[in-house]
């Protein structure tokens, strides 16, 4: 990603670099949000499968850490784009501010909420990082497709409401997964493009195997 961005900015192709950034934000948002959805719906099953039932209390922190990973990936994409554009100081400033906030919140949250307080402080840090990076992207006049890349996150939040109302019902969990695909198909343009790309790739592989 970074070499491609550096080349595009070096060639003066700012619109191409912005398009690559937007496409990357949307692509990783779609992929990682689905993983986060699974990690929330089946967080206890995943912990038991990977470790044991003794660590079942770590299931919620695990799911929240997945959400933190998602926000960090998006921040890295925007940070690399800013560095490639010549604004190498922006990520340093963002990381300095957010790290200070993380340390301050950890000192408050950990004594209050225990080990999950560290996860909460990380979540606040990464949300703040998104806000500041968006500010720098706009300030650097790198064309950004608004906050459309956050649409999958909005879908996730909406779908998790019935999950917390009917947590232990497997039919609800499966219905939420199906609803994610259906809503994303109509609400997220990049989701349709990704689905079309996957379908086209499978079709080509089938034709190649037949011949």
Q: What is the pLDDT of residues 106-144, one digit of tens each?
A: 999 999 998 899 999 999 999 999 999 999 998 888 877
Place of tokens 């990690």: 39
Tell whether 147 is covered by a domain.
Answer: yes
Mean pLDDT score across all residues of the chain: 88
Report how many helices (DSSP H) and strands (DSSP E) the chain contains, helices first.
9, 0
Tell whether 58 is covered by a domain.
Answer: yes
Q: Which stretches within 114-169 are classed as H helix?
A: 116-139, 151-165
Domain that holds residue 151: 2-87+142-210
Q: 161 or 70: whose pLDDT is higher?
A: 70
Tell whether 96 is covered by a domain.
Answer: no
pTM: 0.85
Helical packing angle, 14-41 and 151-165, nearest 10°: 10
Tell whether 49 is covered by a domain.
Answer: yes
Cα separation of 166 and 87, whole Å? 47
Tell whether 76 is covered by a domain.
Answer: yes
Give me the percent of the chain exceeding a pLDDT of 70: 97
Tell whether 97 is covered by a domain.
Answer: no
Tell whether 161 is covered by a domain.
Answer: yes
The predicted model gives 18-26 an average pLDDT of: 89
Tell whether 156 is covered by a domain.
Answer: yes
**How many structural domains compose the chain?**
1
117's tokens: 């307080």
């Amino acid at each position: 990603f970074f070499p491609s961005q550096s080349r595009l900015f070096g060639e003066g192709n700012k619109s191409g670099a912005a398009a690559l950034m937007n496409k990357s934000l949307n692509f990783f948002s779609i992929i990682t949000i689905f993983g986060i959805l699974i990690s929330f719906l089946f967080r206890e099953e995943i912990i038991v499968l990977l470790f044991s039932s003794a660590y079942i209390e770590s299931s919620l922190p695990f799911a929240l850490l997945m959400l933190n990973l998602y926000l960090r990936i998006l921040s890295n994409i925007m940070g690399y784009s800013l560095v490639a554009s010549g604004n190498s100081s922006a990520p340093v400033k963002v990381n300095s501010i957010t790290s200070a906030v993380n340390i301050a919140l950890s000192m408050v949250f950990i004594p209050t909420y225990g080990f999950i307080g560290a996860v909460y402080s990380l979540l606040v840090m990464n949300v703040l990082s998104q806000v500041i990076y968006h500010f720098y992207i706009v300030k650097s006049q790198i064309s950004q497709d608004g906050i459309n890349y956050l649409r999958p996150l909005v879908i996730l939040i909406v779908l998790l409401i019935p999950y917390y109302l009917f947590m232990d019902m497997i039919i609800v969990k499966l219905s939420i997964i199906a609803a994610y695909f259906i809503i994303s198909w109509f609400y997220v343009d990049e989701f349709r493009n990704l689905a079309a790309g996957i379908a086209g790739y499978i079709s080509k592989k089938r034709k190649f195997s037949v011949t």
